[in-house]
Structure 1
Amino acid sequence: MKRATWAPAAGFPSGASAVRGQALVLVLFLLVLGSAVLIHLFNAGQLIGAKTRLVHVVDAAAYSGAVIQARALNFHAYVNRAQLAHQVAMAHLVTMASWARFGDTEALQLAQSNPPLGVITSFFGVAHGTAYAQSAGAVGQRPALARAFDAHDQTVHQVLMTAQRAVFNTLAQSRLDAIEAVVAANYDGTPPLADVLADTLPGTLRWQSGSARESLRAVAAQAVAPYDYLGPRNYIARSLLPVSARCPWLRHELRRNGATQQLGLEGWEATDTQSWHALRSNQWIGCYFREYPMGRALAQTTGNPLDVVEEIEGMVEDAVPTDFSQEDFWRWATRQSNWNIFGGSSNPLGQAWAFTEPVRLGGRGLPANAGLSSGRDSVRFVLRLREPQARLPTTDGSSRVKAGVDKLHIGTHTAGGDMAAMAAAETYYVRPAPRPDGRGERANLFQPYWQARLVPVRQEERVLARSLQGFK
């Protein structure tokens, strides 16, 4: 007898087939879900890679911009130091021109025996007599000095000042060019958009012309201070024996005066005089000194000697005579309110004669130059790089991934879904070693100690960037 068996009715699937059908749906669902997850992970990786790249590039670009600033500030420091060196050289040339003129005039007095060589030797010794006799060898040096001075002046005004002004005017653009070059070097095609935010460069530097050159003049005065050749050249030699019974304590004097000084903002001036002050006496004024000018010189870069004559001891109120055959020296000299013929240490007549025949070397005075605004010790800026959403390297060209009717969103937290990165950089002043005197040193444009570094972005800078650039 056959066992009865159950068989599914026609048109219905078997149990195994139903299970396989349900498993297929689940597999398909898992495949779709896995594909979506893989695409999401791929896009997330792409965005993370793009963000990392953007952060590295913005750091490199910001640092490069700070390096350009440091180089520019150090360039200004080197140029300002070069300007000071030229001022020291020009001060020496003016002094040498004064000495040359001094030698010329002393040689002229020697040739005229006014005063005689024997008088100087007998009263003040062989050394002074020999120096007086050798003055004839100094004639004819001024043309070469004038040419050398003009060469310095051309370098100061047409080379150094022009180059410094060009760097001063183009610093902001040069910094931006460097930033854009770094960004472009790290991206093929269209680079991210670069914005400079929270910038302290404007107002940090100032172009110092006119009366603002006073700061350069003050530093130039310090630069020439160590040179004895430019310092005071004052000396008095006195004869050994008494001269007059009315004043036996007084002697004949040989006075040497000289100095190199700044002529305001217009350059340099040097004066050199030497006079024999012969002790005389009479019943009207007693003992006095009759001055016999020997060497005398005034060398200037610019200006009118009448503009500065009041600053020189020995200002004259009458026309200065070249001889006193028509009037006694003491009568004429007593009319000059600032003259002292009874003592002192100056050579007023020699100075007066020098001012009537100055040596002019030309020149255009102190140059305009770049300076640091008061209170500024660093230059800081914030750089932002922004990559538009359409250029982000995701599967559909954006930061959104489509999966069925829904969307898996990978946000970039910026306006419009763009990706952005920020970096702050600073150019700062620091000495490589402490000062020998142990004192601190403020930032300046005379020492090339400017360096660059990356610094943290401040919270207020982030807030400012959001408000200005559309951050959420």
Structure 2
Amino acid sequence: MSSILFVLVLFNTGQTASEKSRLANTADAAVYSGLIWQARALNFQAYTNRAMVANQVSIGQMVSFSSWARYASILIRNVDYIANFIWVMKPFTSIANQIMGQVDNVVVNITEALIPVVDGVNGVLSNAQQAVYLASFAATPAIVQEVVEKNDERYNVNSAYAVIGMGENAMAWNNFAEQYDDRDALLRKADVVNRSKDEFTNARNIGQRQLLPGSPSKITIFPMRFWIKKEGRSNLIAEEGNSGDIEWEWKGKDTLSLHSETYRCSVRRGCGWRSHVELPMGWGSRYVNGDFECEEDDEGREICPEYMNENRWAEDLADLESEELDADYNGIRAYYDLSDLSEENKDPRLVLRIEVDLPEDEVRTASKIENLGSDSVPNEETGNGIGIGVFGTEDRMAGEGIASIASGEVFFHPPDDYNPSRRRGRYEIANLFNPYWEVRLTKTPIERRFMAWALRDSDLLTEGASGIAEGVAIFISEREEELSRLQHLQEDLQNQLDSTVDDVERAQIQSQLNAVNIEIADLESQNYDVNNLTQNLQQNLSQGVSSAANTQVAQYEQELEQYAQQQSEEFTDQFQDEIVGQVTDSLQEALEGAVEDAVESAISSFFGG
């Protein structure tokens, strides 16, 4: 009979150890899954921020191409005018002029159709950022709850420590990032856009060597020298309107000029190339959303900022013949970034700590097996030794069950962190423009372990400081007893290892010994100082989260969902059908109109209409 009881005790010990291991794995999985959602939400903000910048650059490209088409059309127009005096060239220049005019019309129609579409996409992305961020406010507790339930329906994540941990995480998430729509923030985003422009948009400059391959940069026919210069550029412009809001404009300019200089000598200045003359050959400019960059002087002349370094006269002509694109454009939209953009906030973290527990009556020990024994040890001796309950084993667990706590964090981890040699003296601080947010599990601090332990005994907290101090002493005593037990087990395992010859058995014993060594090292590394533990517990409980201990997770989750739904509902309705119809209708209409114009012009040209 004693051997049977011994087997039952071993069975109970194994079941308890197995449940403890499964609880730990479940807690780790729940923390990791909850934080993965938050990391993905932050990376979503980064991807959408980059997408909005790319879309702004694409609008700049469309305006640039439209400006270039305008310039090319005027250049061919000027060449066709000169061909009036060179009759051999006139038929060719006339056809080229008509074709370039139609190309310019097609480019304008497509540009005017696409700019509102791309701008509308940016509006959708801006609203999606807010909807995702607000929805994530409630998603983490729901994910934690679901992961725990999917692992085992007997497991709970509604302890005071778990609710406090999720409450702290929710408050940290709420304060981690924010939507920026103020003047300085939008100008900061506009600076990112201007610095992200491609070469064609930023500076489409071509010198004589590129225009005439094999030629020198300047052709000298003494005492004069000549060169051709092509210059072009587009900018995103911001101007504060009458209402105080920022007005946005994309503007492009393109010019081509013939330059000449004459070599002259004078007594006062000596000899050198002087008397610079510019002969404009082609020019063009287009803009979207109003040309507020230019201002009138006292004499009524329009003064515009200079884009060109050499083709100043051609630029003046481009300003005079500048055309506005008939397209809706709203400029830089509101976007999300970290709430704290200071240099001190280089490495912010989002922490989540939870506790998963299993009540004592749900642990599948021998006492829960039907017909094996009663739920308690019999009080009276049985006559035959096989009465009900004779094999009963009394289950006693600290805290009336088994529990496991887990911690994790979201952190910013750029690729250069994997290879520090690539940094070259640079270090990228955390931001919401690069999707480098990752998740990792972390070690739970000793004060947090004590906090979880203390919250399971309401008497410790209701008795005030004296109760907490007494609890700290009990907590430390239990940890010391656990350490002593593990050290004895370590010694026994080491003796078994030394006396065992079989390789398979040695490997099994070594594996157990390694696990015990890790637990011992963990316990020995903790600072079990009474004053520190008491002070840290009181500090953690006094940070406005202790009230969460009286709130059930389901109720807490429901409140978060209601808040997120209330905040994000209006955005969901706005962008669901906003883009699809606009893309289809406007682009189809523009292309049909452009094709009809081109066909009519071609028929008229070839048949003498």
TM > 0.5 between the two? yes
Question: Given the two structures, how large is their TM-score scaled by the length of structure 2?
Answer: 0.52
Please point out which of 243, 250, 275 is paired with 1:268. Answer: 250
Q: Which of 324, 327, 331 pairs up with 1:358?
A: 324
1:449 corresponding residue in structure 2: 436
* Aligned-partner SS, 1:358: strand
Change (3 A) 1:241 1:380: same
List aligned pairs for 1:362-441, cutoff 5 A: 362-373=328-339, 374=341, 375=345, 376-388=347-359, 395=367, 404=379, 410-413=396-399, 417=400, 419-432=402-415, 433-434=418-419, 436=422, 438=424, 439-441=426-428
Q: CA 1:436/1:271 → structure 2, altered by over 3 Å: closer, same or farther? A: farther
> 1:152 — aligned with what?
118
Query: Contact 1:106/1:135 (CA < 8 Å) preserved in 2?
Result: no
Letter of the 2:144 counterpart = I
AA at the equivalent of 2:143: A
For the residues of structure 2 that align with 1:350 and 1:105, how far apart are their CA atoms? 11
CA RMSD in angstroms comes to: 4.6
Letter of the 2:235 counterpart: Q
Q: Which has the larger radius of gyration?
A: 1
1:406-451 deviation per Cα after TM superposition (whole angstroms, max 9, x unaligned): x9783424xxx45432100122232445375533332333333332
Cα distance in 1 for residues equivalent to 2:73 and 2:456: 74
Offset from partner CA, 1:186-229 (integer Å, 9 cap, x none):
2236744253345343322222334323443333233225x245
Q: How does 1:121-132 map to 2 (within 5 A)?
A: none
Comparing 432-441 with 67-76, which one deviates more in the overlay? 432-441
Equivalent residues in 2 for 1:282-293 (5 A)? none
Q: Which residue of 2 aligns with 1:23?
A: none
* Amino acid in structure 2 at the alignment position of 1:425: G
Q: Give secondary structure in 2 for the equivalent of 1:445.
A: coil
1:75–1:453 CA distance, 2 compared to 1 (3 A)? same
Cα 1:256–1:468 shift into 2, 3 Å = farther
Written as runs of structure 1 = structure 2, the 5 A alignment for 1:315-326 is: 317-319=298-300
Q: Is the 8 A contact 1:232 1:257 kept in 2?
A: yes
Tell whether 2:137 aligns with 1:166. no
Given the superposition, is the C-alpha separation of residues 214 and 464 from structure 1 closer, same or farther in structure 2, using an over 3 Å criterion? farther
SS at match of 1:66: helix
Q: Which amino acid aligns with 1:430?
A: H
* Residue of structure 2 equivalent to 1:309: 294
Work out which of the residue numbers 129, 134, 138 in structure 1 matches 2:100: 138
- Superposition deviation, residue 101 in structure 1: 2.4
- 1:62 Cα deviation (Å)? 0.8
Question: Quick check: which one's helix share is greater?
Answer: 2
Aligned pair in 2 of structure 1 residues 234, 359: CA closer, same or farther (>3 Å)? farther
- Determine whether 1:180 maps to 2:166: no
Query: Which secondary structure does the structure 2 equivalent of 1:447 belong to?
Result: coil
Distance 1:206 1:319 in 2: 45
In structure 2, the gaps of 5 or more residues are 209-216, 239-245, 262-273, 370-374, 381-392, 459-470, 472-609
Q: What is the distance in 2 between the residues matched to 1:316 and 1:277? A: 29
CA 1:320/1:106 → structure 2, altered by over 3 Å: closer, same or farther? Answer: farther
Alpha-carbon separation, structure 1, partners of 2:138 and 2:56: 31
Residue by residue over 1:246-284, the C-alpha shift from the partner in whole angstroms, topping out at 9 and shown as x without a partner, is: xx87x89876442111223735321224467899xxxxx
Q: Which amino acid aligns with 1:305?
A: D
**1:338 Cα deviation (Å)?**
9.9
Three-state SS of the structure 2 residue aligned to 1:318 is coil
Aligned partners of 1:81 and 1:446 also within 8 Å: yes
- Which deviates the most, 41-50 or 440-449? 41-50
Alignment partner of 2:173: what SS?
coil
Assess if the C-alpha contact under 8 Å between 2:177 and 2:337 holds in 1.
Answer: yes
* Change in CA separation of 1:344 and 1:82 when aligned onto 2, cut-off 3 Å: closer
Cα 1:131–1:364 change in 2 (3 A) is farther
Match of 2:71 among 102, 105, 124: 102
Q: Quickly say closer, same or farther: Cα 1:420–1:177, change in 2 above 3 A.
A: same
Matched AA of 1:369: Y
Aligned-residue offset at 1:381: 1.5
Q: Which residue of 2 aligns with 1:19?
A: none
Q: Is the 8 A contact 2:63 2:252 kept in 1?
A: yes
For residue 353 of structure 2, give the secondary structure of its aligned residue in structure 1.
strand
Determine whether 1:216 maps to 2:181: no
Q: Deviations over 1:95-123 (max 9, x none)?
A: 01111222344455556x3xx3589x9xx
Shift of 1:60: 1.3
Q: Could you tell me which runs of 5 or more consecutive residues in structure 1 were left unpaired when the two chains were aligned.
A: 1-30, 243-247, 280-286, 322-335
1:79 lines up with 2:79 in the alignment: no
Inter-CA distance 241–462: structure 2 relative to 1 (3 Å threshold): same
1:152 counterpart SS class: helix
Q: 1:410 & 1:442 partners in 2: Cα distance?
A: 51
Contact 1:300 1:360 (8 Å CA) reproduced: no
Any conservation in 1 of the 2:186–2:334 contact (CA below 8 Å)?
Answer: yes
Name the residue aligned to 1:205: 177
Q: Tell me, in whole angstroms, the C-alpha distance in 2 between the residues paired with 1:440 and 1:57.
A: 36
Cα gap change, 1:388 to 1:451, in 2 (>3 Å): same
Given the superposition, is the C-alpha separation of residues 49 and 73 from structure 1 closer, same or farther in structure 2, using an over 3 Å criterion? Answer: same
Change over 3 Å in CA distance of 1:351–1:464 after alignment to 2: farther
How far does the alpha carbon of each residue in 1:265-316 deviate from its partner, in whole angstroms, 9 at most, with x for none? Answer: 735321224467899xxxxxxx9999876644333333x323x115xxxx75
